[in-house]
Amino acid sequence: GAGVSQSPSNKVTEKGKDVELRCDPISGHTALYWYRQSLGQGLEFLIYFQGNSAPDKSGLPSDRFSAERTGGSVSTLTIQRTQQEDSAVYLCASSLGTESPLHFGNGTRLTVT
């Protein structure tokens, strides 16, 4: 079946512009995570959605970052007024539940010039 799908796969934007990154999780997966992976670094947790519960936003690095998940399915990560330090690969993952393995998308590589 289809895995986690992220779009776009690559995004180049100018400093100060807003960007939207999309994640389509595996159908039926109630948990959805956003991570950021910078070159040579581990995964940095951003935000976590679980069912209809309030999302865990504790990893968002600033108020320029926000995310929503509509209808318990598709999620959008928005970065406003992008900065060069926002350049990274943004990974989305979904899972059946809190104790199930994560399934990752291939990520969106964001480059802020």
Partner 1 sequence: GDSVTQMEGPVTLSEEAFLTINCTYTATGYPSLFWYVQYPGEGLQLLLKATKADDKGSNKGFEATYRKETTSFHLEKGSVQVSDSAVYFCALRDSNYQLIWGAGTKLIIKP
Work out whether 101 is an interface residue with partner 1 (CB under 8 A): yes
What minimum distance in Å lies between the beta carbon of 9 and partner 1?
Answer: 11
Interface residues for partner 1 in 25-44 (CB under 8 A)?
A: 33, 40-43
If the CB atoms of residues 80 and 109 are measured against partner 1, the closer one turns out to be 109
Q: Is 106 exposed, middle or buried (0-12, 13-18, 19+ CB in 10 A)?
A: middle
Sequence-ordered list of residues with C-beta below 8 angstroms from that of 97, at least 6 positions apart, any chain = 30, 31
CA distance 32 to 6: 12
Residue of the chain from 19, 107, 108, 110 that contacts partner 1 (CB under 8 A): 107
Question: How would DSSP label each residue in 55-67?
Answer: PB-TT--STTEEE
Work out whether 110 is an interface residue with partner 1 (CB under 8 A): no
Query: Residue 92: how many CB atoms within 10 A of its CB?
Result: 27
Interface residues for partner 1 in 41-70 (CB under 8 A)?
A: 41-43, 45, 48, 50, 56
Residues near partner 1 (CB under 8 A) are 3-4, 33, 40-43, 45, 48, 50, 56, 91, 93, 98-99, 101-107
